[in-house]
Amino acid sequence: MANILVLNGPNLNLLGTRQPEVYGSTTLAMVEDACKRHGAEIGLTISCAQSNHEGALIDLIHDARGTQDGIVFNAGAYTHTSIALMDAIASVELPVVEVHLSNIHAREPFRHSSYIAKVAIGQISGFGADSYRLALDALATHIRGGRPE
Ligand code: CA2
């Protein structure tokens, strides 16, 4: 079983409680639960974490080295601003799939660029809570070198 960290950044703890027209009505606890259940189905052991603080996210990424085989990461608004998170991902040399609930490319121009994308193996954006499941599938395939389970 591969170990995967599902990591969420700022404000995503509010998921399902505000702006459902943009981010849906699924709560973060529901997303994390769905990730754990889907992970078990495809041979992944899922750990989940969320922080509103850039430094704490960097620590979680550093800690993933040696314990995790990959990261599914929704960096929230830090996606568009954080060179520090980009450097943290590059430093741990783990495969990262960038995830967004909304389609960041169809939104305001300031959301079109991503520092995370520069160091991620790929990006999944715009499928609501399903983005996480798609990201887990992509990461599992990548870790297995493209081979089925
Ligand atoms: O679409 C995504 O997943 C985003 O990463 C969400 C971020 C946004 O800044 C990115 O551009 C795209 C915002 C997360 C805010 O989450 C909330 C959830 C519920 C209510 C309010 C905010």
Span 31-41, average pLDDT? 98
Residue 12 alpha carbon to ligand 1 centre in Å: 6
**What pLDDT digit, counting tens, does each position of 91-138 carry?**
999 999 999 999 999 999 999 999 999 999 999 999 999 999 999 999
Q: In a mutational test of the pocket of ligand 1, which residue from 7, 25, 74, 115 has the highest number of ligand atoms less than 8 Å from its CB?
A: 74
Q: Check if 74 has its Cβ closer than 6 Å to any atom of ligand 1.
A: yes
Closest ligand 1 atom number to CA of residue 18: 20
Do 57 and 7 form a contact (C-beta atoms < 8 A)?
yes
Q: In a mutational test of the pocket of ligand 1, which residue from 17, 18, 23 has the highest number of ligand atoms less than 8 Å from its CB?
A: 23
More confident residue, 22 or 134: 134
Q: Looking at residue 133, what is its pLDDT?
A: 98
CATH architecture of 2-143: 3-Layer(aba) Sandwich (3.40)
Q: What gap in Å lies between CA 26 and CA 114, rounded to an integer?
A: 24
Q: Looking at residue 67, what is its pLDDT?
A: 97
Q: Which two tokens stand for residue 50?
A: 């969320």
Q: Check if 115 has its Cβ closer than 6 Å to any atom of ligand 1.
A: no
Would the pLDDT of 147 be above 90?
A: no
Residue 1 alpha carbon to ligand 1 centre in Å: 30
Q: What is the pTM of this model?
A: 0.96
Question: Which residue, by CA, sits nearest to atom 20 of ligand 1?
Answer: 18
Q: Looking at residue 37, what is its pLDDT?
A: 98
pLDDT band at 18 (very low <50, low <70, confident <90, very high): confident
Would the pLDDT of 148 be above 60?
A: no
Residue 130 alpha carbon to ligand 1 centre in Å: 15
Would the pLDDT of 146 be above 80?
A: no
Q: List, edge to edge, every strand of the sheet that includes 96-100.
A: 44-50, 2-8, 70-74, 96-100, 122-125
The closest of 141, 128, 56 to 97, measured between CA atoms, is: 141
Calculate the average pLDDT of the chain: 96
Q: Is 51 annotated as a binding residue?
A: no
Question: What percentage of the chain carries pLDDT values higher than 70?
Answer: 97
